[in-house]
Amino acid sequence: MAPPRTHRMQHQQLIVTLYGLYAEGTGGSLRVSTLISMLAALGIDQQAARSTVSRLKSKGILLSQKEDGVARYALSRDILDIFNAYDQRIFAPERSKPGDPWALVVFSVPEAERNRRYELRAELTSLGFGFVAAGVAIAPSTGLEQAVERLASRKLDGYAEYFSGDYLKGGEIRQHVSQWWDLQTLDQEYSEFIDRYEGLVQEWQHRASLAAGFSVEDRLDAFHTYVPMLTMWRKFPYQDPNLPLEYLPEGWKAPRAKKAFLTLHGILEEPAAAYAKELVRTRGD
């Protein structure tokens, strides 16, 4: 089975994943030729790759550097701090349990600064918060520390107050969480992940079982599959509040999607990294 195509995935997202995975060993930067070669291995032609790199440079997302007269790019820290290869929340997210406390972020932004209100809501949404009411965001308490850090780093914490507490009204909480979060859209996105990647599990398990190990072609295929897969997956542990399964709709697809991801991650991470390191070596990084 061929690896899924990457044309529907934004090139910027793929580049962030490449830097998060493979740039640490090169001091956080990559040669332009190395980056273009990595994108080519993902099926992105050179013209499109260079156009994307140029656009990201003009936006300040990629920062140009020179080392021994060779052009290199580093990723802006504002972007890189969202993801790295050891991100605990991406690879081992913690699901809350019934009865665990809730985190509340209560915020108020003057009308004259309503663009900051939009930024604040977007940041909280990206960290898995739902909204009980205007100016009141909620999430399991496990997400509070990261929210405090993120809002402070974006200079948004001056508009917010933070609380931890229990839900006291009683009754069935499941009906409320479907109002506080857009669970239907999130479940559909998990379904799309399953459709794209679950069918690859058996093939890669077979390849991994062969005594000869991974061939050069296997390592390329692993890279071509792993980078887009991780790019698609890494949004979920942030957007998904990881609520107790008891609070979620019947047939919630996150556990099935997570099983496929972790299985493929366990198989593909090493051969994909081996391919990337070979690209880095041959390009002189």
> Does residue 189 share a domain with residue 155?
no
Kindly state the average pLDDT of the residues 97-105.
93
> Does residue 235 share a domain with residue 190?
yes
In a domain, residue 10? The reply is no
> Does residue 201 share a domain with residue 161?
no
In a domain, residue 65? The reply is no
- Pick the closest to residue 14 from 230, 193, 186 (CA basis): 230
Residues 6+ apart with CB under 8 A from 124: 105, 137, 139, 147, 151
**pLDDT confidence of 284, banded at 50, 70, 90?**
low
> Does residue 204 share a domain with residue 155?
no
CATH number, domain with residue 116: 3.30.70
What confidence score (pLDDT) does residue 2 get? 45
- Domain final position from 165, 191, 213: 165
**pLDDT confidence of 5, banded at 50, 70, 90?**
very low
What confidence score (pLDDT) does residue 1 get? 46
> Does residue 159 share a domain with residue 187?
no
> Does residue 221 share a domain with residue 157?
no
Residues 47, 36: Cα–Cα separation, whole Å: 9
What confidence score (pLDDT) does residue 158 get? 95
**Which range (49-58, 122-131, 208-217, 242-251) has the least confidence?**
208-217
Q: Give the pLDDT confidence of 6-23 residue by residue, as tens digits.
A: 444 588 889 989 998 998
> Does residue 191 share a domain with residue 151?
no
> Does residue 244 share a domain with residue 185?
yes
Q: Domain count of the chain?
A: 2
Query: Residue 156 sits in which domain range?
Result: 102-165
pTM of the predicted structure, to 2 decimals: 0.85
95-126 burial, b at 16+ Cβ within 10 Å, e below that, comes to bbeeeeebbbbebebeeeeeebbebbbebbbe
